[in-house]
Copies of this chain bind each other. A is one copy, B any other.
Amino acid sequence: MKLTVKELAERLNVPYEGDSEVLITSVAGLERAGTGDLVFCAKPKFLAQLETTKASAVILPPGLKFERTPVLRAEDPHLAFVRATEIFHRPYRPEPGIHPAAVVSPSAKIGKGVSIGAFSVVGDEAEIGEGTVLFPHVTIYPRVKIGAAAVVHSNTALREGVRVGNRVIIHNGVVIGADGFGYLKGQDGAHIKIPQIGTVVIEDDVEIGANTTIDRATLGETIVRRGAKIDDLVMVAHNVEVGENAILIAQAGIAGSSTIGRNTILSGQVGIADHVDVGDNVIVAAKSGVTGRIPSGAFVSGSTHLDIRDWRKFWALAPHLYDIVKDFKKLKARVEELEKSSKR
């Protein structure tokens, strides 16, 4: 793919300045850009870096002056750059068709233009929507339903009866619909398994990162709402509901029956206890452990580190601090007494 600055500006529907005939063949970051690359710069503080770039053109916001290369002007340079990236780089997708070394149940319904890779397995009565791609080594258990234009990468397992929406992207090694973790304590101390007969529903436009696990509900459904984005190695337990456009960053975990609101962000390694409601538009900072309800709009935190000497002193103190503070309050009363008597 080669486009002149003029052609690219037309495709992006933005104005440009400078030589209209310069050829653009790819996109790159400021440091690594070379001839033919388009870069972007959203803030004045990166202008110095821009001065030395070997890129052939740059996307800038209105008002930032630059004349060494052609400039495309966009209110949101990063968004325009994303659109340009999509023009030059299509994500790798295999051709439509069912690989001869795939095993597809005769009772499965396969939509038009579907691609099923080598060694993928599609179980009885499963449904795969139009244009969906199953890479090699995908295991679709019986009665799974996947919508249209979805992408499922290798080594992913969709367990019996799970439902996945349109345009969902599932990266490698994801497990959707393994049993929720539920047991009763038996008389003899052994654990009695609670059958996990619910399912998982992944709505449209969700993306799920590598090796993430989303467990099936005990009864009913574990739900990930439309547009939610889930990073790698995240754990979503049985009967959880993840809200629309929520963001779950890597290694976060949500215990059973909790709900995460719309647009809420759980940062990396956050843990949410079971049966907890986290509201809409909440930000939970990395590593926080959340044990109770969080109202909409809140910003809570948990992460920290200290120099090892400070850390040791601090935690040696921690178990005694409550008593020390009580002691402090008594001392305050005594000082007040002294002050009174000295005024006398």
Contact = CB atoms under 8 A, between A and B. Distances in A.
Given A190-B245, A191-B247, A299-B308, A215 B229 contact: no
| Chain A interface residue number, banded | 35 or more
A14 interface: no
Contact of A192 (B79, B250, B253, B298): B79
- The 10 A-B pairs with the shortest beta carbon distances in the complex, nearest first, are A289-B303, A175-B210, A313-B322, A139-B154, A301-B311, A310-B319, A178-B210, A288-B305, A287-B289, A157-B172
Interface in A137-181: 137, 139, 141-142, 153-157, 159-160, 169, 171-173, 175, 178-179, 181
A27 B342 contact: no
Interface of A: 27-29, 31-32, 76, 78-79, 82, 85-86, 89, 91-92, 99, 101, 103, 117-119, 121, 135-137, 139, 141-142, 153-157, 159-160, 169, 171-173, 175, 178-179, 181, 183-184, 189-195, 197, 205, 207, 209-211, 213, 215, 219-220, 227, 229, 231-233, 235, 237, 244-245, 247, 249-251, 253, 255, 262-263, 268-269, 271, 273, 284-291, 298-308, 310-319, 321-322, 324-325, 327-328, 331-332, 334-335, 338-339, 341-342
Contacts of A193: 82, 207
A318 B305 CA distance: 10
Contact of A325 (B99, B286, B301, B317): B317
Nearest to A235: B250
